[in-house]
């Protein structure tokens, strides 16, 4: 497949990061979201990241302008008809994703591969709403996308070897390291990471130690670059809760039960960095 234009559906933290990396590696990018303000916010984030790269001497001002010129903004999902490849990075909600994939299936050419950046929802279920389940695949980037090297490439039940190979090659073209994963709740990354974060929250809940102490133990004792509670705030506590619920429901094991303190913080609107308060307070 000759991929020249990539559409990214969703201009939030993940979508704008994916769009930036795709444009940096020479692809034409169509960045989509449901409102102009969301698309513009995503574009401004990319601009800010690239400006930082210019100030650090990683790229020139001209290279920055060239990258930005390859990004087209839209609020019309039907613009997907111009794309050779689509990566969906919308909210982690099956209803929203299913609706997007139904539309993409109708408007894109039949040979176009539809990828989802879902962090935990089943690819097989997303693929089932389309007439091309063999061309639907998971492409789970890590946050922040421009920095992190890993992409989990998740095969649905019907995904063909040819489609897998195209996506693996695309990930490499984008400077990422693809790792093949089968379609199970949470895949590998979140199935291992989120129960660790959840256990750290239980340790706070049960009064074992303060968030600061728990994070120090994991950073100094286990050589983690960020403590689990710092990381939870960075990911967003609402996202952490959503993934734990998917793991609990999908695998049916009580070890995946979300900590009551996590639920309490989410209900209070203490979602971490994005709201200024989670396990830590952010100015």
Active site positions, annotated: 119, 140, 152, 190
76 is in an annotated binding site: no
Quick one: which of 200, 85, 94 has its CA closest to 136? 85
Residue 14 annotated in ligand binding: yes
20 is in an annotated binding site: no
Q: Is 97 annotated as a binding residue?
A: yes
CA angle 118, 282, 270 (to 5 degrees): 55
Angstrom CA distances, 190 to 41, 43, 120, 229, 241, stand at 27, 28, 7, 15, 12
Find all residues with CB under 8 Å of 114, minimum gap 6, and list them. Answer: 86, 88, 101, 104, 105, 108, 130, 132, 135, 136, 137
269 is known to lie in a ligand binding site: no
Is residue 11 a known part of a binding site? yes
Q: Is 15 annotated as a binding residue?
A: yes
Consult the annotation and say whether 10 binds a ligand.
yes
- Any known ligand binding at 212? no
| 33 has binding-site annotation | yes
For residue 143, say whether it is annotated as part of any ligand binding site.
Answer: yes
Question: Can you say whether residue 60 is alpha, beta or left, with left for phi > 0 and alpha for psi between -120 and 50 degrees?
Answer: beta
The annotated binding site for NAD(+) is made up of: 10-15, 33, 92, 97, 119, 143, 274
The annotated binding site is made up of: 10-15, 33, 92, 97, 119, 143, 274
């Amino acid at each position: 497949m000759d991929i020249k234009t990539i559409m990214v559906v969703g201009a939030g933290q993940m979508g704008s990061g994916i769009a930036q990396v795709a444009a940096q590696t020479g692809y034409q990018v169509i960045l989509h979201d449901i409102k102009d303000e969301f698309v513009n916010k995503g574009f401004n984030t990319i601009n800010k990241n690239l400006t930082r790269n210019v100030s650090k001497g990683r790229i020139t001002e001209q290279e920055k302008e060239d990258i930005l010129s390859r990004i087209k903004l839209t609020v019309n999902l039907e613009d997907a008809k111009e794309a050779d490849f689509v990566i969906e990075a919308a909210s982690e909600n099956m209803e929203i994703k299913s609706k997007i994939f139904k539309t993409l299936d109708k408007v894109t050419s039949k040979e176009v591969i539809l990828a989802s950046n879902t962090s935990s929802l089943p690819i097989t279920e997303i693929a089932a709403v389309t007439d091309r389940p063999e061309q639907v695949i998971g492409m789970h980037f890590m946050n922040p996308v421009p920095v992190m090297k890993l992409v989990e490439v998740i095969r649905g039940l019907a995904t063909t070897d040819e489609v897998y190979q195209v996506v693996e090659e695309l990930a490499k073209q984008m400077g990422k390291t693809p790792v093949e994963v089968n379609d199970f709740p949470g895949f590998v990354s979140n199935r291992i990471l989120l129960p660790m974060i959840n256990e750290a929250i239980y340790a706070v809940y049960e009064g074992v130690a303060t968030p600061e102490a728990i994070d120090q133990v994991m950073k100094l004792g286990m050589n983690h670059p960020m403590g689990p509670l710092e990381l939870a705030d960075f990911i967003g506590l609402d996202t952490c809760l959503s993934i734990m619920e998917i793991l609990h429901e999908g695998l049916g094991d009580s070890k995946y039960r979300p900590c009551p303190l996590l639920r309490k913080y989410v209900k209070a609107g203490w979602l971490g960095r994005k709201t200024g308060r989670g396990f830590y307070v952010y100015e």
